Amino acid sequence: MSHKGGPGADGRYDVVIVGGGPAGLSAALMLGRARRSVLVIDDGEPRNAPASHMHGYLSRDGAPPGELLAAGRGEVVGYGGEIAPSPGRAESATWDGADFAVGFDTGRTVRARRLLVASGIVDELPEVLGLAARWGGDVLHCPYCHGWEVRDQRIGVLATSPMSVHQALLFRQWTDRLTLLLHTAPPLDEQDAERLAARDITVVHGEVEGVEVADDRLSGVRLSRGELIPLDALAVAPRSVPRSSIVSGLGLAPTPHPSGMGEYIAADDTGLTQVPGVWVAGNLANPAANVMGAANAGAIAAGAINADLITEETNTAVQARRHPVLP
């Protein structure tokens, strides 16, 4: 065991964490405080990079996402954790029968007793002209993260799945000027049409061709038939694509999410996967988790990992006591 940074005397880390976002850094902080040797590998591509501010994080509401990460890295290092030079990309992970071997894109390989993957997801956006350029600004997805900032404005919801009606009903809490753009979603059934009408949500039929911008602000969307729908903000539901290549070599494959909005890596309540010694946390395990939820998941995984290591160390000590090595 080491708590001074770097691998232990045996040349391996207690835990290697792939992903230095809120989940990975929260786990590293907890493990560092538990006097574990920890290495965090991060490629510098956080999911919320397009957003200028994060919301709903108690005591940090409105702070830039990068500010939280910088503070977290400093805290991890303060407890002896090691942050690999950034950007650093972990390209592979294998089990050699004794340890996990994690390979970098630089050719470096590190060994670890346990592996936590918090590499997140990629938001796959609908193919609508100009939409991606506005992502994280006036094109958004989460009402709890961004709804307050666009309250009482003209908000459109771009329907792309059966969950789009639910998304529209959520955003209705923030404005009474709401439009559901059916776009490529399945036709509404009677029940959904009645619910939307009861909440005075306008429904527009027809595929959306592109977003319209004026003075660097969203001004609306244009339908393929040429009609302009004036809007101030547009909500979309991106498809969650796990950044899971690091665990594929360990036999872990993405699972379709129950919401139908993409995939994730299945795990138990602590983040433990089907592969012994491998945990996942953050959006990789729960695409719907906000920043605070991801950080909490990292802390829970860290506690479980530390407990697992303690069990292993205790069993080893008991065996050594029962069968001492004679000089």
- Backbone dihedral angles phi then psi of residue 40, each to the nearest 5 degrees: -105, 125
Mark the ranges of the chain whose per-residue pLDDT is less than 70: 1-5
Residue with tokens 């001074």: 4
Residue 200 exposed, middle or buried by CB count within 10 Å (0-12, 13-18, 19+) = exposed
DSSP assignment letter at 167? H
Residue 2, pLDDT score: 42
Q: Hey, what amino acid is at 280?
A: V
Tally Cβ neighbours within 10 Å of residue 70. 11
Looking at the chain, the number of H-run helices and the number of E-run strands are 8, 19
Residue 160 structure tokens:
């792309």
Written out in words, the top-level CATH class of the domain with range 12-123+239-322 is: alpha beta
Q: Please check whether the two domains, 12-123+239-322 and 126-235, share a CATH topology.
A: yes
Q: Looking at domain 126-235, does it have CATH number 3.50.50.60? A: yes
CA 152/CA 177 separation, integer angstroms: 7
3 state DSSP class of 202? strand
Please report, for the chain, the start and end positions of each structural domain, with discontinuous segments joined by +: 12-123+239-322, 126-235
Nearest in space to 279 (alpha carbons), one of 151, 159, 115: 115
HEC profile of 19-69:
CCCHHHHHHHHHHHHCCCCEEEECCCCCCCCCCCCCCCCCCCCCCCHHHHH
DSSP per residue, 278-317: EEE-GGGT-TT--HHHHHHHHHHHHHHHHHHHHHHHHHHH
Q: Are 298 and 22 in contact (CB under 8 A)?
A: yes
Q: Where on the phi/psi map is residue 119: left (φ > 0), alpha (ψ -120 to 50), or beta?
A: alpha
Quote the pLDDT of residue 4: 56
Contact 40, 117 (CB under 8 A): no
Give 8: exposed, middle or buried? Use CB within 10 Å, 0-12, 13-18, 19+: middle
CA nearest 229: which of 179, 266, 271? 179
Helix (H) or strand (E) holding 73: helix 65-78
d(CA 287, CA 265): 10
265 phi and psi, to 5 degrees?
Answer: -100, 120
pLDDT reported for residue 1: 44
Count Cβ atoms below 10 Å from residue 55 Cβ, excluding itself. 19
DSSP character for 135?
B
Token digits of residue 240: 């969650």
> First and final CA of the chain: distance in angstroms?
24
Encoded tokens for 212: 């319209």
